[in-house]
Every structure is written in C-alpha cells, then in structure tokens.
Amino acid sequence: MHTDRILPLFVKEILEAIRDLRTLFGMIVLPLILFPFLLVGLTAWGLRATPQERGIYRIGIVGESSYLQEALQRNSRFQPQFFRFPIPERQIQRYISLGQLDLVIQIEENFDKHLKENQQASIRLYYDTTSEASYQAFDSFRNWMVDWKTEIVKERIQSFGIEEEVIQPLKMEGVNLATPRKLGGFTLAQFLPFLLIIMALQAAFYPSIDLVVGEKERRTLESLLTTPLTPVEILTGKFLAVSLISLVAVVLNLTGTVLAFQILTRSTPGTPIEFTLSPVTFLWMVIFVLPICMLFSAVFMSLSTLSRSVREAHTYLTPVFVFTVLLAGIGIAPGAHFSRAYVFLPIGSLVLLLKDLLLQQANFIPLIIVLFLHLLLAFLFLRFAAGLLQSEEVLFSPVGFNLQALRKSKPPTALPTLWEVTALFFFLLPLIIWVGSFWAPRSIALALIFTQVGVIFAIPILFLKLLRYNIKETLALHYPGILNLLAGFLVGISGYLLNIFLVFALKGIVPYPQDFEEVMKELLKNLTRGQGLSLLALLPAVCEETLFRGVILSGVRRRFSFLTSVLFIGILFGLFHLPNPLRMITASLLGVLFTGVTLKTGSLFPAIAAHFTVNAISVMATWIEPKWETTIPSAIAFPALLAGVLFFSIAWLLTRSLTTARKTQENGENIATL
C-alpha cells in the first residue's frame, strides 16, 4: 500500500464530498447548528412553559376558611380563586377539562372552628387523573398539606406545653455534593454520547454511498481501477475521507451542543448548573468516538460496495442505521451502567463508557479494550469491502453480489483465509457470552450444551458449509494412527501436570477462579459420573477443538510459521477463557500444546484426545478432593512440572506427521503411474 497514491485520492474524495450539499448538511449544519439549538430551544421553551409546567397551579376554593387562606398566601405555587357558593361536580369537571382550574377544594362548613378547637377538620379535593396538570396540582397540594399539617401539629403541642423534639425525635438534612460543573456533566451524560453516535452515523451515511456505489453508478469507478491504485488503496482513501467527515460532524456537534448550553445558562442567571468540558475531556471524547466513526464508515462502505445502485444501498444501509440507533439506545437506557457484560456490545459499550467519561468515572482499561474491539471490527469490515472491490461479480455483473460468488470455484484443498477465521472468532466470542449468560441462571448444564454445540460447534461447521470449504480438509479429519492418538493422551496428561505447576506458581499473583470452581462442583453434584465426563470433558474436547484446532488453525497455518501459529491459537484460546486471568493463562498453555500436536500430526483427533484427557482428569480430581488445586504444595508442583515436561517429550517423540506420510504415499503413487 502506497500512501503517496492514497493521499491524492483522499484529497479528491474530500473535495468532492464537501461540494455536495447533502454531505455538508450532515457534516456541518445538522451537528453544529440544527441539533444543538433544537435541544437548547426545547429546554428554553420548557423553562418558559405554561404556569402548570413551572409548578404553578390554579385552584378553586369552595367554602370559607381564613386559616387556609392565610396558609395559602404564604405559598406562591398556588393561585387560589374563591367561590362563595357550592359548585356542582359537573361544573367542576368542566372547569378542569377546559383548563380554567387545575384543582378544586371543597372546605367543610366548620373547618376553622374544628381547627381552632383542636379537632379534625376536613376538606375534599376534586381533580382529574386524565389531566396531567390536574394530577400534578393534586400531588403538589397533597405534599403542601403534609407540611401545613406538621405546622398545625407543632402549634397544638406547643399549646399543651410539649417540646417539638418529643414527637420529632429525628432530624434530617440533605447536603448535595454535586458541583454545578458536575451537574452539567451529569446532564450532558444523559444524552450527549447518544447524540454524538447518531451524528457520526448520519454523517457517514450519505458519503459512504456516494463515494462507492455512487461511483459505480456514474461509471467512474472503472477509470479509478485502471490507474495504478490498487483496490485496497482505493478503499483506504475513500474510507479515510468518510471517517474524517464523520469525525468532523462529531467534533462540531460536541462543540455546538456545549456552546449552546453555555449560552442558555448565561441567559438564565442563577441556574445552578455549568456546562463546561475541559479540553482534556473534549480530546478524549473525540479520540473515543473516532473508532465509532471508522466502524460506521467501514460497515456502510462494505454494504455500499455490495450494492448495485444508490437506491439499493439505501435499502441495505437504512436497517443498519436503525439497528445502530437501537444499540446506542441501550447505552442511555435508565440505570444502564458499564459492566463486563457490555464489553462485546458494539456501539452500546462505547455510549456507556462515554457517559462515564462525562461523569468523570471513566475506567481506562475497559475503554482501551472496547476501542480495540471497535477498531478490529472496522478493520474486518474494511478487509471484506476490499475483497468485494476485487470481485468481478460485484463490479461488472448486472446481478451484483450474491453468496454464490463467495461460494463458487473453490478447489477441494482450499482453506479459509486468516481474515475469515479471525472474523469468525470475534463473531463467536460475544455470542458465547450472551448465550451462556442467558442460559446459566436457568441451568448450567443447558448453558454448556447450548454454547458448546449450538455456538462453538454448529456455527463454524455452518460457516464451512456455506462457503463451501471442504470440511474434512479444513478440520484435518484424518485417521491419526494409534501412536499419534496415544501421543494425544500423553499431551493431555502433560497439560494437566504443567497447569498444576502454573496454578502453584501464580498463587497470590492472579486470583484463583473460585466462582467458576463452585459452579462446576455444584454441577457435578447433580450429574452421574458418565454425564459429568460427557458434559465437561467430551463435549468441550470435540466442540472447542473443532473451532480452535480445526477451523481457526486452518486459516492461521497457511499464513504463519509453526511457532507463530502455535502462539496465535494459544492466545485466542486464552481469550476464550476470559475474564479470569488464571484460567486465561492455563488455557493459553493448553492451546499451545494442542495446536502443537495438531500441526505435528496433521490430524485433529490427537488434540481432541489431549483436550478430553485434561478435562477428564480435572473432573475426576474434583470427585476425589474438590479443593485440592487451591492448596497445591511445592512438593507436588515441582515434580508435576518435571513430569509434565517428560510426558510432553515422550508424546512429541511418538508423533509422526501424517502430511509427510501422505505426500510420500502420493509421490509413490505418481512414480508407479509413470
């Protein structure tokens, strides 16, 4: 990729985009002027709204009471209107319906007398729950009555010579610690992250259509493709332009909204709220929104590349737009706070984190993880779009793109690409978490079966079937021979022993997965031994090996060396066992061992045997002594390390490569044919 070729394209795209009124509107007018001032206008309108909305109610008082009249005069929220004669209920209903009164108070005949003689005086309140103002007036008057009642009680007990403290033993005083600035941040946090996401989304919408499928429709893309620019460079130039447009919209919206609210607070003195963003917070917000802009640009451009016309692109992009708004909406749902469960929720996770940033409660580690995941997703979409831009079906076929184009013409030995398997992994990871957390509260066993069979096993197989990859070749389903299988079992024993040492060595450094152990123990209690081994040893061995040492390794091994493949798969397998760091480390080690044995033998079965062995020993150990792993003494840990290394060395010596054996056999057959 040559930046000196991408830069002129980027400049051309920006020049073209900013001359388009629709892009300008989405990039400048809407985020900088329209939205902020609409928001502020609505708020200002709210402040100078009807008396009811300001908390001032018109109440009708039927009957006479000098006490009530005097008490009401001390409260400016009620505008009383006195009626000398009784009013029929129908007439009261009419006054409230027409909005002439919000509440009518009927005073009993001897109201003042009863009060004076320390008796109970009663009033009747007429209101209409179907009228918001009437109900609010009723609610407000009822609260005021409580205060008035307290006042009367105070006066009465004083007249009997009793101290107030006797009947009011507790006194409460609330002190609000929120500074005006913090209050401003809190207010902005309720809507600004959502608004920024929408601005980024809408600003990327039109240019991503215009610069890709628009070019296809205007027949200018063909002239670009005949230049020395490669499809990846063309897409990168366009992607940078769309991302920049989206980011500019975000920056302008952020500036516009904060400025508009500042103008509003200055024009209404005495408001106990301050809308100020420090330059550092401003900068961080822009940095955190950038991956979102890139993600939107990449997703929209992929769909735009797929489309045959601008109209078709609108059809594809609009549902994505709506879905994204829903995802962002999760972030501003009342009571939603960032937690681990949200890490894999695209868009929504960033809205929650931006909210935390405005509330000055940001935790930077999840922020970095979420940002990385969004960037990765953007990169995968971009790769996908670049692949499409090289597809003749997409560029020249009147039918356009269809799945058949991806599926066809694959030789029987074709393996999935690195990008395909990485995308598959990051697609499955959140799915596993969601399916697992949905079923776990109902039944741990069901959660295990659904995640293992329904997600980890079924989706990769479906992926291979859909894209017409040869399942046997991809998963390396070759009979390994007795020695390789035996080596697999030995690798399993070695993995278990080495993990014993790891648990011992990391004791006190990383936390022990206590919760996980408890859940497993509880599960095993309710299962027979056969069920326990099937569910916790056999099922993960088959399903997880199909995904990791089968599908993912097939895409990795064609691009990387033996060592890099082993480490890469080891890390992915570790990530799969998040969030407990100890399980992540031990799983990474096992991932390395299982990948090593698969690559060495050229068959998936030894890895399944190894995985089964590790899990089966763990299950059996739980049956014998449930807590033994937490108290491993050094007298066991160090011999376990030595034994683990020894077992692995024996296993390694036993294995023989099936690939070499097959090649030798094929060569033999070729020579025989000649």
Partner 1 sequence: MLIVENLSKRFGDTEALKRVSFTITEGQVYSLLGPNGAGKTTTLRIVAGLMMPDTGRVLWNGYPNIHHPEVKRQIGYLTADMGLYPRLTPWEYLNSFGRFYGLRGKTLAQKVQEVVNRFEIEEFAHRRCESLSTGMKQRVLLARTLLHDPVLLILDEPTAGLDAITALGFISYIREEKKKGKSILFSTHQLWEAEIISDALGILHCGDLVASGTPSALLSHYGVASLLDLFVKIVEHPDAH
Contact residue for partner 1 among 76, 226, 528, 561 (CB under 8 A)? 226
User: Is there a contact between 345 and 326 (Cβ–Cβ < 8 Å)?
Assistant: no
- Measured from the CB atom, the residue of 16 and 64 that comes closer to partner 1 is 16
String of contacts with partner 1 for each residue 529-568, x by CB under 8 A:
----------------------------------------
Q: Is position 230 an interface residue for partner 1 (rule: CB under 8 A)?
A: yes
- Cis peptide bond prior to 366, omega within 30° of 0: no
| CA 648 to the chain's CA centroid | 41
| Euclidean distance between CA atoms 193 and 63, whole angstroms | 54
| Euclidean distance between CA atoms 450 and 530, whole angstroms | 19
The amino acid occupying position 316 is Y
Instruction: Kindly give the interhelix angle for 348-358 and 279-306, rounded to the nearest 10 degrees.
Output: 170
The least CB distance from residue 28 to partner 1, in Å, is: 16
DSSP-derived secondary structure for 566-592: HHHHHHHHHHHTTT-HHHHHHHHHHHH
Among positive and negative, which fits the CA dihedral 616, 617, 620, 622? negative
Question: Which residue, among 538, 438, 483, 465, has the nearest Cα to 658 in the 3D structure?
Answer: 483
Among positive and negative, which fits the CA dihedral 36, 38, 41, 42? negative
- Measured from the CB atom, the residue of 10 and 194 that comes closer to partner 1 is 10
Which residues have a Cβ under 8 Å from the Cβ of 484 and sit 6 or more positions away? 601, 603, 605, 606, 654, 655, 656, 658
- Measured from the CB atom, the residue of 76 and 226 that comes closer to partner 1 is 226
Q: Is position 395 an interface residue for partner 1 (rule: CB under 8 A)?
A: yes
Q: Is position 9 an interface residue for partner 1 (rule: CB under 8 A)?
A: yes
The least CB distance from residue 411 to partner 1, in Å, is: 14
Q: Mark the segment that binds partner 1 (CB under 8 A) among 227-235, 253-261, 298-306, 610-618.
A: 227-235
Contact residue for partner 1 among 34, 225, 414, 431 (CB under 8 A)? 225
Contact residue for partner 1 among 82, 191, 396, 479 (CB under 8 A)? 396
Rg (CA), the chain: 35
Give the count of residues interacting with partner 1 (CB under 8 A): 27
- Measured from the CB atom, the residue of 27 and 347 that comes closer to partner 1 is 27
The least CB distance from residue 199 to partner 1, in Å, is: 23
The least CB distance from residue 228 to partner 1, in Å, is: 4
The least CB distance from residue 224 to partner 1, in Å, is: 8
Query: Helix, strand, or coil here: 60?
Result: strand
Would strands 123-126 and 78-83 be described as parallel, antiparallel, or unpaired?
unpaired
DSSP-derived secondary structure for 194-247: HHHHHHHHHHHHHHHIIIIIHHHHHT-HHHHHTSS--HHHHHHHHHHHHHHHHH
Q: Which two tokens stand for residue 151?
A: 């006042």
- Measured from the CB atom, the residue of 77 and 308 that comes closer to partner 1 is 308
Contact residue for partner 1 among 100, 278, 397, 649 (CB under 8 A)? 397
- Measured from the CB atom, the residue of 14 and 192 that comes closer to partner 1 is 14
- Measured from the CB atom, the residue of 225 and 486 that comes closer to partner 1 is 225
Which residues have a Cβ under 8 Å from the Cβ of 170 and sit 6 or more positions away? none
- Measured from the CB atom, the residue of 8 and 579 that comes closer to partner 1 is 8
- Measured from the CB atom, the residue of 6 and 137 that comes closer to partner 1 is 6
Q: Is position 402 an interface residue for partner 1 (rule: CB under 8 A)?
A: no
Site for partner 1 in 79-98 (CB under 8 A): none
- Our separate counts of H helices and E strands in the chain read 32, 4
Q: Is position 8 an interface residue for partner 1 (rule: CB under 8 A)?
A: yes
Q: Which two tokens stand for residue 377?
A: 């997703």
The least CB distance from residue 415 to partner 1, in Å, is: 21
- Measured from the CB atom, the residue of 132 and 222 that comes closer to partner 1 is 222
The least CB distance from residue 402 to partner 1, in Å, is: 11
The amino acid occupying position 88 is P
- Measured from the CB atom, the residue of 220 and 534 that comes closer to partner 1 is 220
DSSP-derived secondary structure for 593-623: HHHHHHHHHT-SHHHHHHHHHHHHHHHHHHH
The least CB distance from residue 20 to partner 1, in Å, is: 6
| Euclidean distance between CA atoms 196 and 191, whole angstroms | 9
Q: Is position 267 an interface residue for partner 1 (rule: CB under 8 A)?
A: no
Contact residue for partner 1 among 163, 165, 173, 392 (CB under 8 A)? 392
Contact residue for partner 1 among 88, 169, 228, 530 (CB under 8 A)? 228
Site for partner 1 in 10-69 (CB under 8 A): 11-12, 15-16, 19-20
- Measured from the CB atom, the residue of 211 and 423 that comes closer to partner 1 is 211
Give the H/E segment covering residue 40.
helix 35-47
The least CB distance from residue 399 to partner 1, in Å, is: 9
The least CB distance from residue 392 to partner 1, in Å, is: 5
User: Is there a contact between 520 and 621 (Cβ–Cβ < 8 Å)?
Assistant: no
Q: Mark the segment that binds partner 1 (CB under 8 A) among 1-9, 36-44, 81-89, 651-659.
A: 1-9
Q: Is position 3 an interface residue for partner 1 (rule: CB under 8 A)?
A: no
- Measured from the CB atom, the residue of 20 and 517 that comes closer to partner 1 is 20
- Measured from the CB atom, the residue of 228 and 334 that comes closer to partner 1 is 228
DSSP state of 628: G
| Euclidean distance between CA atoms 617 and 185, whole angstroms | 54
The least CB distance from residue 11 to partner 1, in Å, is: 8
Would strands 57-62 and 103-107 be described as parallel, antiparallel, or unpaired?
parallel
Q: Mark the segment that binds partner 1 (CB under 8 A) among 87-95, 327-335, 390-398, 462-470.
A: 390-398
The least CB distance from residue 13 to partner 1, in Å, is: 10
Q: Tokens 């079965």 label which residue?
A: 605
- Measured from the CB atom, the residue of 221 and 569 that comes closer to partner 1 is 221
Q: Which two tokens stand for residue 110?
A: 């001897």
Among positive and negative, which fits the CA dihedral 571, 575, 581, 584? negative
Residue 164 neighbours by CB distance under 10 Å = 12
Site for partner 1 in 195-224 (CB under 8 A): 218-220, 222-224
- Measured from the CB atom, the residue of 4 and 625 that comes closer to partner 1 is 4
Residues that bind partner 1 (CB under 8 A): 2, 4-5, 8-9, 11-12, 15-16, 19-20, 218-220, 222-230, 392, 395-397
